[in-house]
A and B are shown apart, each in its own frame.
Chain A
Amino acid sequence: MTDCVLFATLFATFAVLHNNTAGGPPGKELFSLPFVLAETLILLTSSFTCGLALLAIRTRNKQLTYTLLGVTFALGLAFLGLELYEFNKLAHEGNDWQRSAFLSSFFTLVGTHGLHITAGLVWLAALLAQLKTRGFTRPVIRRFGLFALFWHFLDVIWILIFTIVYLKGAL
């Protein structure tokens, strides 16, 4: 919930500043929609496999749990890779966060989401290590429920970024 409020302030900042390009390029010239669509589908799928993994772990189905968690982790990593690639490309073209107020707010908003994804991946890796060493004990399963909540939440935030930043930016 507090994280929701954090993202709300960042969205508000973006909403206020998104027209202030200071002579720099606006979003529609910068973003490639098919690329962002790929990112979105990857994250949606990862949220789905994460949900299934939660069911697998609760029924203590070891094989399925590891497979699904592995897929979730891989998709999260792929998403992060694509996002970093996009950031890198923008910065190399001279459109980094110092270019305009619009880009500052863009990098802050999307970058914060990316940081959350990174934290989520570290969290997931830690949980996998706990599963390996401690087995399917109740505390581990409970922690995994919390992680799934976090991961779905990031998915929700991304949907908003996808709509507000990218789709609306392309109009």
Chain B
Amino acid sequence: MDKLPRAAVKTYINGFILSIVLTLLAFGLVSEHVNSDHTAFSHGNLTLLLAGLATAQLLVQLVFFLHLGKETKPKLNLMAFYFMLLTVVIVVFGSLWIMDNLDYQHGDHATNEEVQEYIIKDEGIDHSH
């Protein structure tokens, strides 16, 4: 290891340890939850916690391994990254939104009239005026 730049090696080792810890933490939480017959945490809280851990993990990977934000002046990589993030958010949340809307057509509503009624009620549309 002597020949390698010490600071860079240290960055990788720190990133590695952090990512392992975060992974084990997330895994530990979920197995605790499953072992306690899904009573250890409330479902919503745990989902939020997992999302937080995954985001932290993502940042660790981006900063320690991919060295994002470490370039000089015109931060083109960072800008491209932000644009990608925007696209990803639109695609993922847009899909969920649209598909949730489409969900009106399925499930409990057997006939077209029922679907219409449900949509009118849900969206607060009133045809009387």
Which A residues contact B (CB, under 8 angstroms)?
A: 1, 4-5, 8-9, 11-13, 15-16, 28, 33, 37, 40-41, 44-45, 47-48, 51-52, 55-56, 59, 61, 64, 149, 152-153, 155-156, 159-160, 162-164, 167-168, 170-171
Contact = CB atoms under 8 A, between A and B. Distances in A.
B5 A171 contact: no
Given A1-B83, A156-B58, A163-B53, 19 more contacts: A4-B88, A5-B84, A9-B95, A12-B96, A16-B95, A33-B34, A37-B23, A37-B24, A44-B20, A47-B65, A48-B12, A51-B65, A52-B4, A64-B3, A155-B65, A163-B26, A163-B54, A167-B30, A171-B33
Contact of B66 (A55, A152, A160): A152
A45 B12 CA distance: 11
Contacts of A1: 80-81, 83-84
By secondary structure, the A interface counts as helix
B16 A159 contact: no
Contacts of A40: 23, 27
Contacts of A28: 34
A76 to B, nearest CB: 15
Nearest to A148: B65
Interface of B: 1, 3-5, 8-9, 12, 15-16, 19-20, 23-24, 26-27, 30-31, 33-34, 38, 43, 46-47, 50-51, 53-54, 57-58, 61-62, 65-66, 80-81, 83-84, 87-88, 91-92, 94-96, 99
A64 B9 CA distance: 13
Given A12-B96, A171-B47, A156 B61 contact: yes
A152 B38 contact: no
Contacts of B83: 1
A4 B68 CA distance: 15
Contacts of B54: 159-160, 163-164
A4 B128 CA distance: 48
Contact of B99 (A16, A33, A47, A59): A16
A34 to B, nearest CB: 8
25 contacts: A1-B81, A4-B87, A5-B91, A12-B91, A12-B92, A12-B95, A15-B92, A16-B96, A28-B34, A44-B19, A45-B16, A47-B65, A48-B15, A51-B12, A55-B12, A56-B4, A152-B65, A156-B62, A159-B57, A159-B61, A163-B50, A163-B53, A170-B34, A171-B34, A171-B46
A116 to B, nearest CB: 16
A44 B57 CA distance: 11
Nearest to A8: B88
